Amino acid sequence: TAITTATPIQSTECFSLITPNDIINPIWNTKAGGNSFPASPGYGIGQYPPHEGPQNAFDLSVDTKYLSFGNDVEGDSTGEEGLHTGFYVTPNRDLSCAQGFYFTTADDFPERDPMMITIEGSYESNLTLGSSWNLIYNGPSGLEIDPGRKSTGMDKYILDEQWFASYRVLVTAIRDQGNATQYSQFHLVGK
C-alpha cells in the first residue's frame, strides 16, 4: 500500500528528480501493477498531439503541456477518456527516493486536470512489465482545488523510504468528463 502524508518536507533536503534532459516514455491503457503500453504522436486512441508530448511536462515552461487522449473515441464518450495515461522515466542519476510532487495546470480546459494519480518506482530493467513496478503513491494530484490555468497546485508528500532508478506516473481520474487529460508541468522531488 502507498502511504501519503501532509507533513511538510524540508525543501533544502529535496531536489527535482526528473530533468528536461531525461527521456520520457509516454504510455496509455496502463494501470498500477500492470504492463505499460506505449503511446504515440497523433490524434486518436492511445495518442497525444505531436507538439504536446510528455517531454513538455518537464521543460520548465507553463506555455507548453502534455495532453493524452487515452481511450478517446471521437463522438463516443466512454467516461475513460484520458485515464490510465502517463509516462515512465529513468532519470539520468543514481538511485533516488521520491518524497513529494506537484502539478502545474495547462492553459485551458480545467475538466482535463488530473485529480487522482498513481506513482510507482522500479529498479528493474524491463519497464514495460507491470511486475517491475512498486506502488508508492495512490491518491489526489494536488489539483483538487482548481488553482486556475497555468498555475501550480498543492504540494503532495510521499511517505516512502524506498530508493528507485525509474518512476511511472499514471492519471486515474480527471476533474470532469473530457476528451483527454493534460497538465503543463509535473515535478517529482526527493533525495
Summarised one tens digit per residue, pLDDT across range 49-75 is 999 999 999 999 999 999 999 986 555
pLDDT (0 to 100) of residue 94: 87
Give pLDDT, residue 2.
55
**Average pLDDT for 70-83:** 72
Say what the pLDDT of residue 178 is: 81
The span from the CA of 72 to the CA of 63, in Å, is 24
Could you report the per-residue pLDDT of 16-41, keeping only the tens digit for each? 999 999 999 999 999 999 999 999 99
Indicate the DSSP class of residue 152: B
Instruction: Report the pLDDT value the prediction gives residue 9, as an integer from 0 to 100.
Output: 44
**Residue pLDDT, tens place only, 115-143:** 999 999 999 999 999 999 999 999 999 99
Which CATH number goes with the domain that contains 64?
2.60.120.260
* Secondary-structure percent of the chain, ordered helix, strand, coil, rounded to 5: 5, 40, 55
**Residue pointed to by grid coordinates 492553459:** 107
How many structural domains comprise the chain?
A: 1
Lowest-pLDDT range of 81-85, 98-102, 126-130: 81-85
Q: Distance (Å, rounded) from C-alpha 111 to C-alpha 146?
A: 10
Structural domain containing residue 127: 4-190
Q: Where are the beta strands (DSSP E) in the chain?
A: 4-5, 15-16, 24-28, 37-38, 40-41, 47-48, 66-68, 85-89, 98-104, 114-122, 134-140, 156-158, 166-174, 181-183, 185-190
pLDDT of residue 10: 45
Pairwise pLDDT comparison (4 vs 105), residue with the higher score: 105
* pLDDT above 90: percentage of residues in the chain: 82
